[in-house]
Amino acid sequence: MFPQQIAALADQVIAGEPIRRSQAEWLAGLEQPWLHDLFRGATRIREHFVGSAVRCCSIVSAKTGRCSEDCGFCSQSAHFKTHVRGLTILDPDQVVQAAMEAAASGADSFGIVNSGYGPTDQEIDHWGRVAQRIREKGLTRTCASMGILDGDQARRLARFGVQRYNHNLQTSRRHFPNIIKTHSYDERLGTLRHLKAAGVSVCSGALFGMGETWTDRLDLAFELRDLDVDVVPINFLIPIDGTPLEGSDPLEPMECLKIIAVYRFCLPRQEIKIAGGRERNLRDLQSWIFYAGADSFLIGNYLTTYGRPAEEDRQMVRDLGLVLEGYGDGAATVGGPQAHSATTGHRAAARRIPLPVVAAVG
Ligand code: SF4
């Protein structure tokens, strides 16, 4: 009976009728042995709306550490004693080089990430000019993640050529104050609205594994659907020593996959991007993210933790018979193992660029 009900819900979504909250709650309550039926439904939805295309993006922590905010998962907060010490700011040339290497690795988007509550006007101008240089090369979409913005700042970033902005809501409105006290959920929501008004593509998602309930997860999924965001990054917590979430129990791989699948049912047309914590939380089931409905992932390193080598991810996509699409017109021109990124790739990054940022982008 359950397999038919799950398939019927997938049919409903494919036919263009959004899933209702009560239906999403029913899906979220499924356990083994029905999870494979859930994943099959999510795969059908992904294939219907996205086909076999897969996208990946990359980020660089351009400004790292000494953050005034107290996000309970973050190694960069000045409120906590973690492995991230002091402030690190990359040179513009280093950031442009990282963008080019990310593009060579197959990333269709490249994000400039800054720690902090939000950018100053000088930082908008400084990183906006760097974004402009990257945009002019035309090899990757230009993204930024710099915290809370007002309307004028969002418009100025758009004028510099920033095409997409990441700003995660992280968790539900209810759970948010348990994790972050120095700014509000509404400030984050406001930033997303300013970006949409400025014509900037919005990337906003969640960090799971912070003690949230399924009610919180669904509250956020429906909020993101109402906001009609373009990309939904899904991060899984990597507990950082020294933060309030140090020692949190990790999510089980099948629970991570269930989250991805339920989000695909709720957000059928969005790019669902698996970001921080993929390797650590999913372990050998990493490639199952596509079976669970994801169509996008972060390649290379995270903000203050290492990802696995980009070539392993490209091989995973090829082995699954999926197609990695780059920026622009269709299939990505990706290099072989020799194209291993010096900045976003695992080994070289450890050698050259100071690795700063945590799993979830601010
Ligand atoms: S997530 Fe961003 S805003 Fe929050 S503490 Fe970390 S760097 Fe600061």
Centre of ligand 1 to C-alpha 165, Å, is 15
Question: Please, which residues have CB within 8 angstroms of residue 93's CB and are 6 or more apart in sequence?
Answer: none
Which pairing describes strands 53-64 and 109-114: parallel, antiparallel, or unpaired?
parallel
**Ligand 1 atom closest to Cα of 360?**
1
pLDDT at 6 over 90: yes
Q: Tell whether ligand 1 has an atom less than 6 A from the beta carbon of residue 82.
A: no
Dihedral angle at the C-alpha atoms of 236, 237, 238, 243, nearest 10 degrees?
A: 160
Q: Which residue, 102, 127, 103, is CA-closest to 114?
A: 127
CA distance 30 to 59: 34
State whether CATH 3.20.20.70 applies to domain 53-351: yes
Q: Tell whether ligand 1 has an atom less than 6 A from the beta carbon of residue 362.
A: yes
Helix (H, G, I), strand (E, B) or coil at 323: strand
Strand partners, 55: 296
Strand partners, 202: 165
Q: With residue 55 as reference, give the H or E element that holds it.
A: strand 53-64
Q: Tell whether ligand 1 has an atom less than 6 A from the beta carbon of residue 191.
A: no
pLDDT tens per residue, range 78-130: 999 999 989 999 999 999 999 999 999 889 999 999 999 999 999 999 999 99
pLDDT tens per residue, range 139-182: 999 999 999 999 999 999 999 999 999 999 999 999 999 999 99
pLDDT at 307 over 90: no
Query: Which residue puts its alpha carbon closest to atom 4 of ligand 1?
Result: 71
Q: Residue 209 corresponds to which amino acid? A: G
Task: Please check whether residue 14 is in contact with residue 45, taking contact to mean a CB–CB distance below 8 angstroms.
Answer: yes
Task: Please check whether residue 240 is in contact with residue 200, taking contact to mean a CB–CB distance below 8 angstroms.
Answer: no
Q: Residue 151 corresponds to which amino acid? A: G
CA distance 27 to 226: 20
Longest dimension (CA), the chain: 60
Please report the pLDDT score of residue 87 as a whole number.
92
Q: What average pLDDT is seen over the chain?
A: 90
DSSP letter for each residue of 110-132:
EEEEE-SSS--HHHHHHHHHHHH
DSSP assignment letter at 337? G
pLDDT at 197 over 50: yes
Cα distances from 235 to residues 124, 154, 314, in angstroms, run 26, 24, 20
Please report the pLDDT score of residue 300 as a whole number.
78
In degrees and rounded to multiples of 5, residue 260 shows phi and psi of -60, -45
Q: Which residue, 207, 223, 293, is CA-closest to 257?
A: 293
CA distance 269 to 250: 29
Please report the pLDDT score of residue 308 as a whole number.
79
Centre of ligand 1 to C-alpha 292, Å, is 29
Q: Tell whether ligand 1 has an atom less than 6 A from the beta carbon of residue 235.
A: no
